[in-house]
A and B are shown apart, each in its own frame.
Chain A
């Protein structure tokens, strides 16, 4: 019997075509698809609510929608209107100013603090906690606090007056030309601790032996930092730039709390522009166009950064 069974092998059939055999393969199919089923809801929601919505917003930006969506095709008229809009240009300019200063100062300050903290400090843990806690706060809280601190009559100015510098003048908050810089101050305060934490982790990841070899070779500490340590931190730089750019472009909460985009529209940023035109001023088409422009900006900044990072990673191997 066994010999016979061995001779009549048919590779693709089950040797026992019983009911259990059949339900076995159905069960198998089910078990193989469970992982995909588990992912299903999330993937579906990503497809619909991320990609689908982006598509919808893009379409809206090509319509003449005002208070209500109007699905008539209007070409690029909203974009033309956007770039004709004084407020939009102000917002973009502010984003540029804020972005560069925010990123630049945060990186410099964060790196500086990280280098300081890397020197085997006694209360390192406590100091790190102090530098980092602002990240735990909402941008609204930060904005509110700094709004008070930079209050033209009762804030920083008054402290300085009371200390003797009676000619000190600090009305940036209500000064159309300087308002955006207050956002920089508050933003740096909030994020530089986080940058420091990342840089510190990067510094700690550098092989001690390389430093020792440099010391034996006679290099001074600043030289070591300049020629060995900082170049070795390239990957961290990229991460930091990615994250800070992202925060800068999306800035909304902080500006709202600090200046509400004012005085007037002097410190408006694209996120505020989008909100105002979409939700307060009933210009859905224009608002959508501004949102798409924000997306374009993020892509334009992040994609080259990622590409450069990937390339530098390959080069470093």
Chain B
């Protein structure tokens, strides 16, 4: 390690200052969530709570008002879980198969098809909202979890395909050739040769998809109202339902509840998350 010169000292100082900038909101959220409304009014953002008061958390979870109902974030939390798990699972699986085809079973025009598919990653989703709302309505899937899962799968598969294809391109072609000569067909090769070495990319893809879909708001607010709303919509409703006094501590507790799953995933497997980001970005 290098020695501490004045220049290095300034370096560390700057880094520490910025660290404060990034941590500050988290600190504020946590500390506010444990204060009482009186404490909030008398103190300020930076002051510590007098005691760890969990009342706001309880309200946020089970009794805060989100629009017309006052059941807290709990139902929305479970909605999100019910929605995210299938969406992540299906889009990842589809991406794996698609990536496998694009990497090792190319055919005439497959590169063009791949590019065409990728366009779906770049469009602003506003241009598909209206027709999709119409379609879901036609099939009776409007405002249902199933409908929301469907939407996320449709628009998430382009990303997952990109991840898997870029990864599988790194698997040597000769490995597939050897397996074909050994007599294995498309699915057997996938199951016995490709899948066993796909661990890392599955992790990256699942983490990425989980974060994207859990954090999504646009699809949630457009395609699922009432019963099937995900937690992001619930949070927004909770915070913006202005019936009288703003309960800032409840708002903060609710925000943290909504953020917890993805934050935990990030803490546990953060480097895979970064890998996912840079992998998607490197494609350019």
Contact = CB atoms under 8 A, between A and B. Distances in A.
Interface in B234-280: 235-236, 239-240, 248, 251-252, 254-256, 258-259, 262-263, 265-267, 270, 273-274, 277-278
Contact of A46 (B120, B124, B236, B277): B120
B158 interface: yes
Nearest to A31: B185
A121 B13 CA distance: 12
A136 interface: yes
B127 A291 contact: yes
A302 B123 contact: no
A116 B270 contact: no
A263 interface: no
A151 to B, nearest CB: 8
Given A253-B217, A274-B126, A116 B11 contact: yes
Nearest to B125: A250
A139 B217 CA distance: 8
Interface stretch (B23-31, B48-56, B64-72): B23-31
B281 A239 contact: yes
Interface string A274-302: 11001100001001101110110010001
Interface string B4-24: 000010011011001101111
B255 A141 contact: yes
A122 B1 contact: yes
Nearest to A188: B21
B119 interface: yes
Contact of A130 (B22, B44, B113, B218): B22
A133 B19 CA distance: 11
A54 interface: yes
Contacts, number: 247
A104 interface: no
Interface centre among A39, A198, A252, A279, by most B CB within 10 Å?
Answer: A39
Nearest to A257: B236
A139 B235 CA distance: 11
A294 B215 contact: no
Given A253-B218, A298-B122, A147 B239 contact: yes
B22 A133 contact: yes
B25 A197 contact: no
Contacts of B122: 246, 298, 302
B78 interface: no
A148 interface: yes
Interface string B185-219: 11100000000000000000000000100111110
A155 B45 contact: yes
A273 to B, nearest CB: 9
Interface string A86-129: 00000000000000000000000000010011011110000111
How many interface residues does chain A have, given as a range? 35 or more
Interface stretch (A17-25, A156-164, A211-219): A156-164
B120 A197 contact: no
A149 B216 CA distance: 23
A288 to B, nearest CB: 6
A136 B273 contact: yes
A70 interface: no
B103 to A, nearest CB: 11
B282 interface: yes
Contacts of B22: 130-131, 133-134, 189, 193
A249 interface: yes
Given A54-B127, A136-B263, A138-B262, A144 B134 contact: no
A127 B94 CA distance: 35
A11 interface: no
Contact of B270 (A129, A235, A260): A129
A197 B278 contact: yes
B127 A243 contact: no
A78 to B, nearest CB: 13
Nearest to B104: A35
Given A53-B131, A253-B232, A136 B266 contact: yes
A10 interface: no
Nearest to A54: B127
B178 interface: no
Nearest to A295: B127
A225 interface: no
Contacts of B251: 144, 148
A37 to B, nearest CB: 10
A277 to B, nearest CB: 11
Interface in B99-120: 101-102, 105, 107, 110, 113, 116-117, 119-120
10 contacts: A31-B185, A130-B22, A130-B23, A131-B22, A136-B259, A139-B215, A142-B25, A246-B122, A250-B124, A287-B130
Interface of A: 31, 34-36, 38-39, 41-43, 45-46, 49-50, 52-54, 56-57, 60, 69, 113, 116-117, 119-122, 127-142, 144-149, 151, 154-156, 158-159, 161-162, 189, 193-194, 197-198, 201, 235, 238-240, 242-243, 246, 249-250, 252-253, 256-257, 260, 270-271, 274-275, 278-279, 284, 287-288, 290-292, 294-295, 298, 302, 306, 309
